[in-house]
Amino acid sequence: MKTILAIHTGGTISMSQNQNGEVVPNDENPLAKEQVILKGQINLITDNLFNLPSPHITPQIMLALKQRILQAIEKGVDGVVITHGTDTLEETAYFLDLTLPNTIPVVLTGAMRSSNEIGSDGLYNFQNAISVAATPESYGKGVLVAMNDEIHTARFVTKTHTTNVDTFRTPTFGPIGIVTQHKAKYFQELIRTDVCEIDHVISGVYLLKAYAGMDGDLFSALDNKKTHGIVIEGLGAGNLPPQTIPAIQQLLRHQIPIVLVSRCYNGVAQKIYDYAGGGIQLEKMGLILCQGLNGQKARIKLLVALSSQKKGTDLRHFVSNAVS
């Protein structure tokens, strides 16, 4: 019999509609007492660790979640399922993917419809996530996200629709598997996963999005001692308006690492264009091109790297490497 720890953190999956049709948190998580489908095969342990809407989740809470999972691993659980609000689910999932040892399956799930809505997807996704965590083939695949019968990697999955139950997608690469007949079936996997050990998280890591006519004002506003790192969602393959360059150069002179990704839904940041503000010039200036991650994931990766206690960590290699 598999022992699975279910950690509930809040979010829509634990909420209900009130009489006015507004979705609000419950005092008690309606999933906490649910019995799973695989009776006799699953020993489910429940921990109502948090009861927070996902916009209330912080890196400090992600770290507490990581520490709770490490305790469970030490006690010999076979897998962990985490229910989470969908707005920041991908960020928590990737934080855990970067900081947990790749040993037992860790699976995040959530819901787009609250527990008492018609067509609520919470219980279904929860039971599917338990099935994924209990499947032997789920070992060694990094942190996973199970939603709407699909299995995605924490590294590349993202929320793509504000309300649709099919919101979680993996641009460019697609899901790595599906859930069928209460079991995970995989068709591809990541090349490699790396772990970056941290015992705290720093503040002052920011995310900016480029736009037509952008100047250096936002960058200048971040040029202070509280800023430890910046991620920019650049235009196209990774380009910026030339008016931003002087302020960015000043940030680099102050030893503030700047990571560049693309604001595009598909594709990766690349050094293709050699003009003022083009990707080639930006890399020569010292920006770190991060391939394959969106802005919020790149920010989590930079935050983890800067919070790492590991001496001699090559920040540029770790953040830019698309396979870790």
Positive or negative CA dihedral for 253, 254, 255, 261? negative
Q: Which of 9, 12, 109, 170 is catalytic?
A: 12
**Structure confidence by residue, pLDDT tens digits, 111-152:** 999 988 888 999 999 999 999 999 999 999 999 999 999 999
**Structure confidence by residue, pLDDT tens digits, 167-193:** 999 998 899 999 999 899 999 988 877
The answer, as to whether pTM is greater than 0.85, is yes
**12: annotated active-site residue:** yes
